[in-house]
Structure 1
């Protein structure tokens, strides 16, 4: 009988569980993983990420809004949480979460599915750190996902505002459409892309870099995935905060009593208003809760994504 050739080292015949050092041998990310597995894992990760960090996202929105109402102005994240909780009740920290859950699942499925497809097509799964490929794949992923998610994000932020009288996402959507038209759901989309394209490019490139630096053997390590995701989230959040402040102004402009803010329709309008009213410091409104949101949420997102994808792939092999 002829000798069988040994399996190729870079593509294991089957994943195995390693009992030493708490690590699981895992096939390379993006390689040999079906697209639907990436999309389901991404969907579950997105819902998990947004649901867990939603109260901090409420604080970020409140702190970024240019408001003349004293009760709607906050100087720190802890002050904001305390005042929202005591003045409006615990439920106020979760107002609008239904919009996020409804949109985040399919948006993240589209996000991670696009990312893996484009990364593989552009050579991002080759050996070594493929910065250009991962950055381009991340940018392509966010263009597709944000086109779907933007209306849900607008509804979410309208419901998060101080004094919001909306009791459901359907009510908010109807009022928004009736008073401001279909354009209101997408007026911030160019600004959103201007922010999220570099955000996602920085995030994915930093994540892939950190993961390979911290885990050269590329074994499945939940700790490394979470740590790499947190590092990527902090870097991307800090760099793009001014754009996020401009996006919030455009998405909540219809609720403002300031006629200049209500008439703002472009990113340049938002930047000009922010600078005139608060100077350079206005662009950094809410940076603390933004970083505080993205470090654990990105860590949780990548941890969930890699974990769900690993489990789903093993389940597929059993049937």
Structure 2
């Protein structure tokens, strides 16, 4: 990794290391807003469709459906900035900033140019998000059932936040186990 950073800095200058920061910031901010916000909306929507008993019985399916639905829209929000970011980072006649690249992309390829990468994004992100949210929800359920000595409704909001944070940390650690360092060297 450090060799790649040194190579990029030596060939294109230190500024190249930050190339694409603006579309990355805006794109992933929008994706996060849609993903987490719509997840809660879809969870409530699907729960209301199922009713209380089926919601509990099929809660993992509910988590999977709500997260897939949320990620579908989140990637629509992310895709335009991903398209710009790729062009900014490659720099092949598109410009080096969001302000330079986005109008050129629209002029050259129209609105569709911003969404060319959407199907592969869906194929990668939707399954990952489904597993991430299902693992998180089931981990929090496990913590409340087997670890936390007090019923959830008797806990303070701060204590519930700690359990939620712990659930996210544990679920994230299970989904993203540490991998051994790569033996591949950048040429």
TM-score, normalised via structure 2 length: 0.69
2:104 to 165, 175, 178: 175
Deviation at 1:134, TM superposition (A): 0.8
1:231 to 145, 169, 173: 173
CA deviation profile, 1:48-92 (whole Å, cap 9, x unmatched): xxxxxxxxxxxxxxxxxxxxxxxxxxxxx3432232233333322
**Could you say which residue in structure 2 is the equivalent of 1:186?**
115
**Could you say which residue in structure 2 is the equivalent of 1:199?**
128
CA deviation profile, 1:275-308 (whole Å, cap 9, x unmatched): xxxxxxxxxxxxx7xxxxxxxxxxxxxxxxxxxx
2:66 to 114, 127, 137: 137
How many pairs does the alignment contain?
Answer: 161
Unmatched runs of 5 consecutive residues or more in structure 2: 153-159, 183-187
What is the rounded CA distance, in whole Å, between the counterparts of 2:86 and 2:174 in structure 1? 24
**Could you say which residue in structure 2 is the equivalent of 1:220?**
161
Q: More helix per residue: 1 or 2?
A: 2
Question: Which structure would you say has the larger RCO, counting Cα contacts within 8 Å and 6 or more residues apart?
Answer: 1
What is the rounded CA distance, in whole Å, between the counterparts of 2:174 and 2:92 in structure 1? 34
Deviation at 1:175, TM superposition (A): 2.1
Is the contact made by 1:84 and 1:93 (CA closer than 8 Å) also made in structure 2?
yes
Is 1:83 matched up with 2:12?
A: no
**Could you say which residue in structure 1 is the equivalent of 2:40?**
116
TM-score, normalised via structure 1 length: 0.43
What is the rounded CA distance, in whole Å, between the counterparts of 1:223 and 1:140 in structure 2? 23
What is the rounded CA distance, in whole Å, between the counterparts of 2:116 and 2:169 in structure 1? 35
What is the rounded CA distance, in whole Å, between the counterparts of 2:44 and 2:103 in structure 1? 41
Is 1:100 matched up with 2:24?
A: yes
**Could you say which residue in structure 2 is the equivalent of 1:22?**
none
